[in-house]
Amino acid sequence: MKIHFIKNKAQIVPLMIILIAILILAIPATIMIGEVGLQRVRLVNTVDSTLISAGSEVCLAFNQIRLVNKGLYEGFWTTQCALWFGGIWLTKSPPITMATVGITTAYSKFLQAKEVASNLSEQIDLQGFLYDRCFESGLIDELNSFEETEVKRDKGGKIVKLLYDEYYKRKAPFPKEYENFKKKEGVNWKKHNTLRYSFNKNVKRDGNTKKPMRADGVMNLGAELPEYDSYVQVELVDMPSEPISIKMKMRIIAFSFLYATPKPPWVMPCFVPHPWAWIRKIELNFGSGNNFRVSVTKKTPLFGGRSVKLRHSNNIEIDGKAGPPLFSVREAYKPKLTG
């Protein structure tokens, strides 16, 4: 029995070593899986929420124009019904005057819709909105260590207190760099379809002194920068470089009525062209249809000098109708993620 016990003990030792090794490897593996999963969730939430917010802004603009369009549509049919219910007019002059008044009123409402579209186009600033929301959503987890003026040391040089009030007064590296980039580029900063912010998530040390090296992040448009271990890249797919504007396509139709003639056939139809009857389509001034896409890529470091690149892109479609025939709430413009 004693020999049998020793043999079992000798078999357990290597098994325990293997189990301990597996546990040691499982800890960093679990941390890496958790980190990658967390970053992926944040990436998906950032892209999707940004697109929905931008799409909602566009839908709000479209639906305001849609309200004006309802007045255009109702005005046209009010005038047209008055012309029809007048029966056979003795002369052309009164119905033409009525139609002219209807066209003039419709033109003033069209100018109102055009002004609304112009004002809303300036307010939307689609490219700037998408860049700001993606970069400022918390994806940039940049190292922001305390500076010498933000710590208190004793006579021996040991840190005894962190001055949080001074630390919070100082701007983080990203907002400062982002603001400087906008000033440097001027109004052209939004014309780039791709922007990247490169930064360090981990502490980098000097090879000789082993002291921590500080390197604030930078906005760059070219290749990856080797001195940084992380970046967040935002790409606006199929977006134009010029400012976004709203276009309206009008329905061209004609008022019609019947009038009497002194000679056969005694009754004749008459048509008065109406170039601003109602708005048949509202759309953005680019692409095919009212949709746009955003793609965000994040590079983040892992254990052992390794890194991973995560990417998520999605497309938003502005779904709805400009007006006729029902003007129901179901036909109003609303954002829809299409993948």
Q: Residue 206: how many CA atoms within 13 Å on its side-chain side?
A: 7
As a whole number of angstroms, the distance between CA 290 and CA 93 comes to: 44
Q: Indicate the residue type of 167.
A: Y
pLDDT, one tens digit per residue, over 250-292 is 999 999 999 999 888 889 999 999 999 999 888 887 655 678 8
Peptide bond between residue 175 and the one before it cis (omega within 30 degrees of 0): no
Range of weakest confidence among 9-23, 60-74, 225-239, 252-266: 9-23
Averaged confidence pLDDT in the chain = 84
Instruction: Kindly tell me if the per-residue pLDDT of 298 is higher than 90.
Output: yes
Q: What is the mean pLDDT of residues 186-215?
A: 77
pLDDT digits (tens, 9 = 90+) for 154-163: 888 888 888 8
Kindly report whether the peptide bond that precedes residue 325 is cis, defined as omega within 30 degrees of 0.
yes
Q: Where does residue 200 fall: left (phi above 0), alpha (psi -120 to 50 degrees), or beta otherwise?
A: beta
Confidence check: pLDDT of 32 > 90: no
Q: How confident is the model at residue 212 (pLDDT cuts 50, 70, 90)?
A: low
Question: Residue 151: how many CB atoms within 10 A of its CB?
Answer: 15
- pTM assigned to the model: 0.79
pLDDT at 329: 65
